[in-house]
Every structure is written in structure tokens, then in C-alpha cells.
Structure 1
């Protein structure tokens, strides 16, 4: 082992009169480009990124003894090109991933591809190439773009939903649903997209009846479809939203609750008897005793069964009640008071005046007798559950998940239809059921129904000739469980091993667009609850903390007269008005989601060429927090660009002054003045570390954290004497802390700045446990405040700030809610605001940063409430 000894000059007497720094040469990191005499520009930034790219991309720090932290951005559909929404979400996740590594966690930060679906198939048809070829080409292109942005993904965990090695396990999970009676086939009036020629779930049709994909007006058709009985878990999914472990869900909880609805009724699966056989009929009621005492059913004339039976000329209908084992008559009637979202009603005239009136209308005789409404209701639910025919609580409006799609490019449903045995599951050992290979879609193969060689097969039970199911699964099925596969992507025996989930689930931080806050999140939660019911997972809830990022908005221009969008280059401004060049027609100017058709998009590739990847990431994260829509404008760039230049100049000056013997040996300062200036820098360092940590770790308001780092930069550039820059331990430590804290966002730039320390002779704070000078910046630890620094302890009374105390950083983590309350009640600013007493209190402890005590006092209008409690 080679050891280098560096003698430190006499002027470093503040730390040590003379000391030596030993450096292991095998650990010595790459040197800087030594361009410190140059002014920072894009060319230098690009050279820096090329110089440090290997170290930045191969940031694979791992220690199995450390706790895990799972950062998961929603995986993309591989369209072939990144858009600014992608750049934003992955810049957010990458920053959090790198931050958590600096905090000492083993970070899981995977990437994959939501690769099935209509867009790929339609694009393949247009180009007359197989969807597989088109999709794999797009994946390769987008992966290269992600690498150009130097995102810190675990590429060894990469998955693609169109890979048979992945969808084998989607099929495996489907078979488990089928075994448990949660996957079933039934005729239904469905939404048909006439353009994409496939069924859509209700959730995929907008408020005006158009397809979420094609925009076409949806038609109604009666088709036999596959469903997943998500309604069976409705109550658990609703109640789970009250879980105290869910962080930052905010209005997403209300969106989910609204979608699920108040679970105030019970469903039982009846069988409708018809000339062509039995049909499944879900019967919902808020009065479960009716499942024992109900004397007849009504179905709306819009009910699928009613429409079919009208064509069969059936006069008498009956349904089998699985709770009582009896058959009851069924009437087609629009006079019943159907619950929201339902077209079947079970009537019990003995307990319901409406049902009695309905019986009179239908000329049904009613026998009076006593009914134990509560007792028989509980009994009916118990009987339905014991017979596995329902009995679960659900809202009337929530429907089961329709997963059938009539297109080629999706996961095949692993069911074989036999004339004798009916629907037979494909044996597990025969999975995956692979899509048949096609050379192109030239012949119009858009569904599996045309692939005869693939369809015709043998029944696994009786070995007669049979046919495969030709529907494929909705792509939401693929993405309903992918977050678990990321944790065990190479498993060939199971979808995942439960032990791999321990400590990693629920996902610590899930990041994605608000447009997925209802559908995808609902399906993913359902699947997680189902898998947990099988004992496969440690927790039911899949995601702990949500970061819902806003859209990237661009400024658009359109003619007031026609609404036609105009490219920015065809626009000129007169005062506050905008007009079209040539026609002088007035324009409407507004911020909208970026789109090619609106001419308001931004090409990430152009940004990378103009500014480099670090600056691009910094631009997308600065100014507004992740949850807020980002208005993309060149006018916001100068602040960020100038900040980078100021950081560059700070390191330039540090190196220059450190190399200047005259400055280093100067005696212009007394020890007292020198110490006073150092204390100011130390106070600023601690203040900005506490604030930046708070926003990076707890609020994820990265833009606020960035502004704090800009503030710390200003401290270091606040006309400090050269002697302080050259000789101050606190200046060196503060500059090092600043560079470390910025490194999650601009890892290349900060690697170069950090290497600048090697250009300056000597090391003043060499004994600091906070800094590992022999390691590069990505291998440092996130800075922490000094033990004796006093952190903020704020008390809010009825929402208003009333008192702020200071608590030493070493003591704050040990301060309990009881201690905090006792401390604040001694303060007059607090006690005089609480005249009647305390209604409730809430204590927020952020150990490295601050503490906040919220007190709600008793007012006149809540005295009664307190007494009741």
C-alpha cells in the first residue's frame, strides 16, 4: 500500500499547528479537469459530465447491513421519446434516491416498461411491423435517453410487461384470482371503442362518453367479458385509506374514497334462469335481511338480461337465491327505486313501504309476517359468506373491474374453453401462454381470434379439442403488481419471494402523475390487498408515501376567432396583447399541458444539447415544488444558470486564495475577529443544513431546498475577506456541505467541484467526521447540524404561530410530546391563548431539523364536544 504524506503549512494554527494527512492512493479519486481559470459555460459543463459520467451512473453503493429505502417512480409506456413530464418525474425520484444514499440507506430505485397496449399496436399497424419490434426499439431509445440524463436507476432490476418472463406471473396471479372466484366471465353491456375496436372499462370513458385513448364516442355492446371482483375488497380498501402510516396522500384519499363510495350495502350473487342457461346476477341491497325474506326481484329494462330475454320471448323469469336455496320470480320493471349504479332490486314488502307499493303495481300478493331485520340481516351475510356467494360490503355504484380487451398486444388470459368442461384454467406448469408470433399486422391480425393455430388446443381436463381464450388483459393488470416484481426480478419459481419484500414494502416513496391517482392506484391497492390475503406480502397497503407531481405546462397561442393553435414563431407582441404575424389577428395566450398539437412542447434533447443534463435537471426542479404544475419558460432560467456560475467562482476563489502564501500568512485579523466571522459562517451552515434537510427528507419540496442552497451560496459570497476563504475551517466545511447537498441534483457538476478541493493545498477540517476527503462527493454522508446548534421548536395555537423556542440539536430527538407540551405551556405567549383548556394537540418531530407543536384550544362552540368525548 502506498502512502502519501502532505505537510500542512504553519498558517493552519487554528485547527492544528502542524499536522499530516495520509491518503491511501488506491482510494484516491479522479482529479478534476483543472479548468478553474476558465469561465463556466455549456462546453465546460458538457466536458464535466463526460469526465464524471462513469462514476455518476455507476453509483452502486450498497451495504446489506443498512436499512433499505424503496424509491419508485411510475414506470413509463415506451413511446420512444422522453417528454418533459418524464424528465420531471425521474429528476424528482433520482434526487430523492441520491439523497437517501447520502443518508446511509440501501436505495432501491428501479426502472421498467409498461410495454403492452393499444398505442404500440396501432403504431405497428401503421408501419406494418410487429408490435414486439416496435416496442423493443422504443425501449432501447428511451433507455438511452435516461442514461444521458444520468438517472441513478437499478438497471439490474429492469422489467418489461411484454416480456414472457414477466407476463407469465401476471397470468399466474390471474389463475389465483380465478381459483378464489375473483376472476369470472359474464355477459355485460360494455363500452365499445369503434376506433380502437376494443372494450373499455367504465373508468376509461370520460364525462362526455368518449374514449380516454382515441377520443372516439363510445358505443354500447353486449359481450361476454372477463371481470375481476374488486368489489369484494371494497370495505377493506376504503378503511385502509384511514391508515395512519399513509403519508402525503392528501386529496388522493378523497379521490379514492369517492371512487370506492361509502360501503353501505351487501352483494349476493344470484343466478338468473333463462332458456339458454344461467346468468350471473349481482344483487345489491342496503337491507341484507332481504336476502332471506325477499319475495321477488326486479330488473331494469336497460339490464342486459332484460334486453336478451325480450328477444327470447320469455314470459316468466326466475332466479336462484343462493342464501335460501329457493327460486324467486323476477320482473322487468322501471318502477323500482334502483340504487345508484344498479339495475337489480330485491323486494321485501313486509319491511319496506316502497316494495309494498311495487308489489301492488306488479299485482303481486303479499303475506304479512314479522321479520327480525337486524338479526336476519346478520344471518344472511354469514350464510352468503359461508357459501362463497357474496356477503361482502360495498357501495352501490362500485363495479367490478372489466379486464377483457379485444386486441393482440396484451397479456393472454390463461383460460381454455372446452365444450364439456367449460372454462378451464391453463395448468401452472404450462405458463406462460405466449402470444403467437406474427411477422406483421399487414393481414389485419388485430385480435387473437384470427390466430387459428394458436387458438386450437387440447382441454387440460378431458383432452378433447378446445379453444384458448382470445381476449387479452387490460394493461392496468400488468401494472397492478409490478412494484413487487422489481424487488425479485430474476425469480423463476414465483412472482416474488416474500422475504425480498421485508423491509422494502410498503414502497417508501411512490412518485407519479395525478392522472393515475384513481384508476392505477385503485387497481394496485386492490391487487396488493389480494396478494396479502394469500399471505404473499408483509403488508396490505402497497405504498407508504405519495409524491404526486404536477404537469409541465407550456405557453400556447390560439386564434380568438377559431381556436386554432399557432406556433410561437408566428406570434408577435404589442404591449400586453399578442397577435398572429401576417394576419394581425388577436390571440388567446394560456398555460396548458405540453403537446405537439398545441406547439407548446419542449424537447428534452434540445435542453441536453443546450445546457447539459445537470442543468436540465436543476431547471426542472427549481422554482416550484413537485406537486405544483411547472410553467416552462426561458425567463426562469437565468437565476439557475447564474447560481451555477457563482458556485464555480466560489471554488475558483477558494483554490486561488488557498494557493496564495501571502494571504495564508497574513495577520490582518485578530483571533477574536477571525473567530467571530467563523461563528457567523457556522451558524449559517447549520441553519441552511437544517432547512434543506427538512425539505429534502420530509416535505420533498425540492425547489424550497434548492432555494436554501442558493441562500447558503450567498453566505459564502458575501464579500468575505480572502483570509477567511483561505484559512477558515468553517468556510471549508460549509463549502463542502453545500456541494454535498447539491450533489443529488447535479452529480457531475458537484463531482467536479468536490475534486477542486484536491487542487487547493492542505486540509483544515481534516479531523471532521462529517467529511471523507479521500472519497468522491457521491460517497459522502449528508451533512448534519452541530450538536450544540439550537434548532427551532415552534408552537402553533389554533393555527397561528405563538412561540418559538430553541433546543440543542443533540437534545431535540429525545423530546417527547409530553415534554414539548409541558415546555410550551410555561410560556406566556402560549398559556394566555388557552383560556378554557386544550381540545387536542399534535406533535411533529423532525429530529435533525425542527419540532412543531400544534395546540387546538377549547372554544365556546366545542365545549359540548369535549364534554361528550
Structure 2
């Protein structure tokens, strides 16, 4: 676990920490050497913003929060390895983050460049593309992001883009990673194959300044077959053409300023007056060949065009929905002429243009056949036409080449803030940027007074003259330190390695510990990290696998850090709002009784929904309050029981009482009230944990426990099982089924909610089983020990208390050998005993393949064909519904036969003459086939 020390735990924290703790405890019970560490992702903007607001050093705020959260985490019954605890804000940790940066720089993977970047005007810092949401807002402050030109530090994540994409298939194996996360990463990496075309540019107004040396616009399209249908070219607001044109076009500058605040899917555009792009199709087809062609098309600036790739698109309104919407919003041209049809051989007269406001005015985005209007290409399929267009342009020595494009940009790590890892670079007037020698690490943050931060804006490091002053490591001249700090995702991109070697002073990690310890077996986190933390962690891990830090990484794990990923759902709180105004209501404005909820002021019934917890909605729940009221175990079990791990959890305290009663019943059961003194003495002397049923029965018989069955030998011990009364067999059968189901849920499906349900059912069965034989209390005892061990990961305190109660009943019982329940191991299902325990089975009876009835019959065992048929006829004839069908001379099967004659009996009831009996799956299906079907 690697929480950000925000100050207090909320239920979202509690949920993910509980899930993690449960799985760690389960693996420990199974005998694994489990590493379940804890650390603190302690750098970040919230601490610095709190310092600015309060006039307090961010380190003080952070350390205080860590102490508070640590106490809360201990109260929730968590089990972490605190000996490996560290904080990313500690120089002993960020020294190694700086060393990783230097190694990246040495490999040419870290560089500084002037770039148009995302700037958060509220937090006064640069953001990576991944930290800007779909609406163009900052992931943290929510402010509209601005574009500014700054010199920044980048990491070349794009050099790993092929590995990052290809190895998603490794993570997809056996559904180890959720498909949703894999899809989000594939989309963010954004690999696309297409064709590059070049549109030459014409400018007809000679009085205006030119664009300089650029004389064409490159585009990449995945639909080269639509080239003849291009009606415009659109450029990103950051395209070089646009920036050059803005120098002399005030209206364009105004538009670009406004465009910064437009949503990414905005259809607003700005037409570059007097500028036209020439369709390269002009080189393979003239006006006289194709009078409908759009050779010269307008050029627009369009916010919907992204910066990646060439920052330009060819607009095809007839065959692209987004282009269609943009064209309708920006052009007065009424007609859009489709050139691809879904049917071969369409004549122009049937292929009508699209007109605005008509029902059929929408783009046809499917591939098809080129219109007969295009000589030389008509009736070609889209794929064949694409190949011919590419070939014809190449014959004319025009650009038409297949290219691969990626959406992924290099990782921008510069941040203009104080509370982060300083970038270990020194700027020298003679030598340029020079890495800090590794022996001089860490480059520590200056220790500024509390008063310095009050109301501070901008970058404190840039203003600290004394801290900046240094000498060049290369030439010894006066120089200045880099004043940017690293993106905090840099710290969290490698912290999991550090847990394996948390005290290493000389290197980030030692390969002797990393090789056997990586990759992480199970990793938990919200889906919101899919394209931020998880992508960066994969990148840095693949880099580690190319170094001495994880030399076996590529061979053993493809450099992937996390083998299995579990993404827990959010926790939503009960939210009340006024039905008239929609205003969210505070808890003190609502009166809640057993049956009704009313607004105190108006008496109206409020609207109740479950929504993401937030202060503005007054729906937050303090987990500390719930734990104080019900206890950590009840809170944990209730949280797990309410929803599957990956689903949204709608927190409702109403049903928590049911979980509380269940755990109370477990404790009562653990007192062993169903066990007499003599039974305890027998348990002490002869029975041990994890005995099979045969071993239990044999041990009891051999030690003269009074029973109604004959004393067994070793060979005849299994013969005791069929003689057990049905309640005993049902209890042991249910126990084995529960162990199997719970083990699978813990180990494979992570359906922890069903574990709680299964254990509740087992608890009730153990409690409700009445003594049916001398064996019953012994079976109940063993079932209780298994129940407690299965419960231990979810409710550790309850399980430990129950274990202690069983042990305290008599000091010398076998549980006394295990001081803690977590030393007792996890039970293993005895599945091979189930067929012997279950003396009946379902039997589906068919007549001519059509189901007629289903009934429970005895298990036939291993029988020859004739014996099996006789046994089944006898079993079926012994049931009411069986007699209705098979009774000699009266059964319905005779009427179906239509012969009115009784066949020779093959058992009780017999069969009509000519009928056949087909037995499937050991008698679970019996099909009676009539003469006319047979």
C-alpha cells in the first residue's frame, strides 16, 4: 500500500486497504512468505497548497497527516510490514529517485526541450498530457488548462511504446488485468496504421505574410479510399502554420485564446482566409475526368484536431461523423457529395448529395465501393481503391506512404513547485545542462521557514538565490541548479521495487532481492490510475529490466511490474437532496426514523441517491466512527459483503447489524457448547487439525468411542461413511463445498462478497445441526475450526477470539499447539469424499428425448448395463412421479406406446415391447425410446 497522506482515511481508503489485507492474510495462511508493506507517497501539490493556505511548511503538514493516518490504519485491524515503511519526501528515498533520473539521462532517455505545454493557472505548474481530463481541465485543481511555451524536462517513454503495447497481451492472459484497464492503455498509446498524404498550399492574397519555408500540409488517414471526398483540411491550434499565421492575424489570435477553454470535441473553427490546400488526388485526376472532385479546399483551425501525429486532418464530411459535424457548423456550402456506396455500381443519379436539416444528412462511415462518378476507380472496393490510389500517387512521385502513428507523447516531468524531488541538473553558461555527480546526491530541498509559504505563488526554488548558487561539476565555473522538481508520479513509478530493499543506502535496490521478489503478485488500485501511475510504472519497470537493478526482469516477466491487477470500485454515500430545489442537505437538516425520512424544515420527503462521497454533498462517512461503533471486523466484513470488489459500493449502515449478529453467532459457536467434557477429552487425545473424514471416524472407532457401527480396520474405515446419518453427511459435505468455494474466491475470482455469504450459511448449518449420532459433535468441532480459519482473513480479531475460546475450553486440546489462528494454516477441501457423502443424485427422465420429469434417486455405484437398468427402474418406480409413468399396466408410458400391450418386465414396472432405455452420466439422465423412434 502506498497512500497519499491527505490527513484522514475515508471509506475508499478503508475498502482498498481491507481488500489488500484480506488477500495478504489468506496467502499467509496458505503458507506463502507474504510481503505486505506500507509506505507514503508524500510529495505533491495538496501539501504545498495547504502550506500556502496555512503558512506552514509542507513537510510539517505531511508528517502530521502520516501520523494521524497511521493510527487510523492500525485501528482498522490491518496487517502491514511497518519495518519497510518509507516516505518519498525523505532525502534517503528521493536520493534514489534522482539516481534513476541520472541513469535515464545517461541513456539519452531524459532530455530538456522547449515545448508548448499544459499549464494549470490555479496550481501554477505544468501538467503531463495524462493529467488533463477529457474536458481540458487539470486532474487535480479542475481548472481549465492553458497552453504556454516553456523549456521542460521530458522522459522518452515513446522509446518503449512498442513494448508497452505488445506486452498488454501478456497482462491479458488468464484475465490477470481487467479488460477495461487494458483498453484504456491501448487507447492512450494510440497506435494506428494509415497512409500519409501531402496537401500543397496556395495563398492568393500576396499582401499578407507567407508561412515561411513550409509549402505543404502532411496528414495521416486510416481511410485513404476517401481522398476524393475531401472538402477541407483542419489544423491543430498548435500547428506551425497556425502559429505563423497568428503573428499577423489578430482575429486568429483571439480565436486561439478562446480555443484554450473549448472542450476537446468542440466544433468551432476558424477559416484561414485566402489559404487553400490542393488535394493530391489532383495529380491523378483532372477537372474534366471528375467534375465533382474537390481539388482546392479551404483550411481551418479546429480545436478537435489533436497535436499528435501531424496535427492535421483531411476533412471528409460525407464519410466521417466528426468531420460532418464540423463542416455543418462552419461552412455555408449546403451539399455534401458522398463518393462511397454500400452497393457496387450505383449511378450518380441514384447517389444523391446530403442536404442540411434532412433526416438522411449524416455521414456514411462504413467501407464500401467507390462511386461510378470516379473514372478509373469506380466499383472498386474501399480496400482495393486505397491500394490503387497509393500506387498511382507514387507513380507520380507524390507522397503516399504507409505510416504508423502513436498518440503517446513523451512524459513531461517538470513541475514548477517546491514540494517534489529536485531534478539533479546544474546549468552552466559554458557546459550547458550538467548532471549532478551521483556521489553528491541527494540534491536536497532548501529548508524554508513556515512564514515563507503563506500566500506564496509560483516556484519557491526559482526565487531562492542561495540555494540555486553552485559550481559546475564539469568546469568549476559558477552555475545554477535546476529549479523544477519532478512529477510526483516519478516517485510512485518505482516505489514497489524499494519495498524489497528499503534500507539500501547505496542503490535504489539490489538485484539479489529484486530478482526473486518481482514482479508484484497482486496489485490493487482504482481504475483512475490506468493511464497515469500504471502506465508510468510499466515504463520505469521496463527500464529497470534493462539495468543491473532488475537483470532478470525481461526474461521472467517481460519487464512488467504487476502480475495481477485488481481495480476496486468507488464507495458512494447516501445523499439527500431537496426534491424542489435540488440542494444537497446536511445530515442535521434531515430527520431519519425507522420507517421515514423527512426534511425538518418543510416536512417533505427528500430525494435519496447514492453518489461519490464529497464535502459538498454532505455524504461522507468517517470510517473511524463506524469502527468505534461496530468494531473493525464488523466494518470490514460489511464492506466486503455489500458489493463485488470491482463494483461501486453503496455504503448503507442499515444492513450492518446483520453482519454484527453473524460474527456474534460465530463467537457463541466457538465456545463449543455442543461439546461435552468427554468429547473435549477425546479431541485432546486423538484428533488433530485437517484430518480427513475417514481419519476422524477411524480414530474415534479405534479409541472405543461408542457408535452404532462396527469397529473398522484401516481398509474398512471408508465403509463408515455411508452409515453416517444424513445430517452428519450434509454438514461435512457442505463444509467441503464451502472450503472449495471460499478458496477459489480468495485465490482466483476475488469475489470476497460471496465468501461472507458462504461463511454465513456454513455458520448457520453448524449451529443448527442437531446431534444425529455420536460423531456429530466431533464433526461440528472440526467444521468450526475450519470456519474460523476461513474467516480469519476477513475478520481477524473475531477469528482469533474464537480460536482462543476453543483453546481455552480445555488447555490441552490440539488448538493449543497454535498460539495464533494464522499459524494454523488454511483448510483444504476434501472433495473426493463428496460422492460418498451424497447418497442421492438428480435423475432427468425423458421419453423420446423430451423431458417428462425430474426426481431424486439413490446413487447407483459401479454397475453393468443390465444391473444399471434394473436399479434405475426400481429407483424410479419407488417414487410417486415414477409410478405415475412406469407402473405396470397403468403408467403413462403405455399410452405413449399406443399399443395397449405390456412389455416384458425388466424390473419393477417393466417396459413396453420394443422400447429401449438409454442411460447417460451414471443415471443422471434416462431416456426411454419408443419403437417408432428407435
The interval holding the TM-score normalised by the smaller chain is 0.5 to 0.7
Cα distance change on mapping 1:667 and 1:399 into 2, 3 Å: closer
What residue number does 2:52 align with? 125
Return the offset for 1:581. Answer: 2.0
SS at match of 1:487: helix
Q: d(CA) in 2 for partners of 1:715 and 1:396?
A: 59
The residue number in structure 2 matching 1:256 is 185
Q: Distance in 2 between matches of 1:299 and 1:429?
A: 52
Partner of 1:782: 826
Does 2:141 match 1:236? no
For the residue of structure 1 that corresponds to 2:801, the secondary structure is helix
Is the 1:130–1:439 contact (alpha carbons within 8 Å) kept by the matching residues of 2?
Answer: yes
Q: Does 1:342 align with 2:313?
A: no
Q: What does the per-residue CA deviation read over 1:614-656, in whole Å, with 9 as the maximum and x for residues that have no partner? A: 2222222123221111111122212211111211221235376
Distance 2:115 2:12 in 1: 37
Q: What is the match of residue 98 of structure 1?
A: 25
Cα offset for 1:443?
7.5
The 2-side partners of 1:743 and 1:544 are apart by: 25
Q: 2:729 aligns with which of 660, 679, 686?
A: 679
Offset at residue 483 of structure 1 (A): 1.0
Question: Shift of residue 572 of structure 1?
Answer: 4.7
Q: Aligned-pair distance for 1:150? A: 2.6
Counterparts of 2:239 and 2:424, CA distance in 1 = 26
Larger Rg: 2
1:456 matched to 2:469? The reply is yes
Tell me what 1:652 maps to.
671
Counterpart position of 1:41: none
The corresponding residue for 1:361 is none
Q: Give the aligned partner of residue 446 of structure 2.
A: 436
* 2:771–2:777 CA contact under 8 A, matched in 1: no
Structure 2 CA distance for partners of 1:709 and 1:434, relative to 1, 3 Å: same
Counterparts in 2 of 1:452 and 1:284: CA distance versus 1, 3 Å: farther
Q: Note the C-alpha offset of 1:191.
A: 2.1
Q: Distance in 2 between matches of 1:299 and 1:229?
A: 28
Assess if the C-alpha contact under 8 Å between 1:79 and 1:138 holds in 2. Answer: yes
- Number of residue pairs aligned between Structure 1 and Structure 2: 658
Equivalence for 2:341 = none
Secondary structure, counterpart of 2:629 in structure 1? helix
CA contact (8 A) 1:234 1:263 kept: no
Alpha-carbon distance in structure 2 between the residues aligned to 1:453 and 1:653: 73
Residue deviations 1:173-232 (CA, integer Å, cap 9, x gap): 112222222222222222222221111222222222222212222222222222222122
The answer for the alignment partner of 2:758 in structure 1 is 708
- What is the alpha-carbon distance in structure 2 between the residues aligned to residue 394 and residue 449 of structure 1? 41
* C-alpha distance in 2 between matches for 1:286 and 1:484: 42
- How far has the Cα of 1:692 moved from its partner? 0.8
2:563 maps to which residue?
544
Q: Cα distance, 1:531 vs. partner?
A: 1.8
More deviation, 523-532/782-791? 782-791
Q: In 2, distance between residues paired with 1:456 and 1:411?
A: 18
Specify the alignment match of 2:510 in structure 1.
497
Asked if residue 409 in structure 1 is aligned to residue 407 in structure 2, the reply is no
**Is the CA contact 2:52–2:455 (under 8 Å) kept in the aligned structure 1?**
no
Deviation at 1:484, TM superposition (A): 0.8
1:304-343 alignment to 2 at 5 Å? Answer: 335=299, 340-342=306-308
Partner of 1:801: none
Task: Give distance in 2, aligned partners of 1:670 and 1:827.
Answer: 34
Distance in 1 of aligned mates of 2:831 and 2:189: 49
Pair 1:744 & 2:815 matched: no
Residue matched to 1:629:
648
Aligned to 1:320: none
**Are the aligned partners of 1:572 and 1:581 in contact in 2 as well (CA < 8 Å)?**
yes
Matched residues in 2 for 1:129 and 1:345: separation?
45
The 2-side partners of 1:177 and 1:284 are apart by: 33
Q: Which residue of 1 aligns with 2:600?
A: 581
Q: How far does the alpha carbon of each residue in 1:1-27 deviate from its partner, in whole angstroms, 9 at most, with x for none?
A: xxxxxxxxxxxxxxxxxxxxxxxxxxx
Q: Note if contact 1:150-1:613 (Cα within 8 Å) is conserved in structure 2.
A: yes
Answer whether contact 1:413 1:471 (CA < 8 A) is retained: yes
Q: What CA distance in whole angstroms lies between the structure 1 residues aligned with 2:218 and 2:655? A: 58
CA contact (8 A) 2:792 2:821 kept: yes
Higher deviation after alignment, 437-446 or 630-639: 437-446
Question: Is the 8 Å Cα contact of residues 663 and 723 (structure 1) preserved in structure 2?
Answer: no
Task: Find the partner of 2:490 among 477, 488, 501.
Answer: 477
SS at match of 2:9: coil
- Which whole-Å deviations, capped at 9, do the CAs of 1:509-535 have from their partners, x for residues lacking one? 001112112211111111112222335
Report the CA distance shift for 1:620/1:660 in structure 2 as closer, same or farther (over 3 A). same
1:189-588 matched pairs, under 5 angstroms: 189-243=116-170, 244=173, 247-264=176-193, 302-303=237-238, 335=299, 340-342=306-308, 344=310, 395-440=405-450, 441-442=453-454, 444=456, 446-447=458-459, 448-534=461-547, 536-537=549-550, 538=553, 539=557, 540-572=559-591, 580-584=599-603, 587-588=606-607
Distance 2:52 2:276 in 1: 45
1:144 corresponding residue in structure 2: 71
Contact 1:481 1:527 in 2 (8 A): yes
Contact 1:510 1:546 in 2 (8 A): yes
Q: Deviations over 1:297-337 (max 9, x none)?
A: x9957337667767999xxxxxxxxxxxxxxxxx9989499
Distance 1:756 1:520 in 2: 46
CA distance in 2, matches of 1:773, 1:661: 15
Runs of 5+ unmatched residues, structure 1? 1-72, 268-281, 288-297, 314-330, 348-352, 354-365, 378-392, 793-825, 833-869
1:655–1:757: 8 Å Cα contact kept in structure 2? Answer: no
Q: State how far apart, in whole Å, the 2-side matches of 1:553 and 1:434 are.
A: 41
CA distance in 2, matches of 1:577, 1:146: 35
**Matched position secondary structure for 2:83:** strand
Distance 1:723 1:585, change over 3 A: same
Q: What is the rounded CA distance, in whole Å, between the counterparts of 1:346 and 1:602 in structure 2?
A: 49
Q: For residues 660 and 225 of structure 1, what CA distance do their matches in structure 2 show?
A: 76
| CA 668–721 in structure 1, closer or farther in 2 if over 3 Å, else same | farther
Name the CA shift for 1:259/1:618 in 2 (closer, same or farther; >3 Å): same
Other structure's SS at 2:434 match: strand
- Of 740, 751, 757, which residue of structure 2 is paired with 1:690? 740
How far off its partner does 1:266 sit?
A: 12
Give the drift of 1:433. Answer: 0.9
SS at match of 2:122: coil
Contact 2:24 2:34 in 1 (8 A): yes
User: Greater strand percent: which structure?
Assistant: 1
Deviation at 1:504, TM superposition (A): 2.4
Q: Contact between 1:299 and 1:306, CA under 8 Å: does it hold in 2?
A: no
Query: Structure 2 CA distance, aligned partners of 1:188 and 1:828?
Result: 74
Over 3 Å counting, the alpha-carbon distance change for 1:661 and 1:512 in structure 2 is closer
Task: Verify the 8 A CA contact 2:309 2:405 in the aligned structure 1.
Answer: no
CA RMSD after TM alignment: 4.3
- Match of 2:38, SS state, is strand
Cα distance in 2 between the residues matched to 1:531 and 1:829: 59
Partners in 1 of 2:166 and 2:801 — Cα distance? 51
- CA shift in 2, pair 1:773/1:266, >3 Å: farther
Distance 2:406 2:148 in 1: 22
SS at match of 2:152: strand
Contact 1:110 1:486 in 2 (8 A): yes
Matched, 1:171 2:171: no
Change (3 A) 1:717 1:669: farther
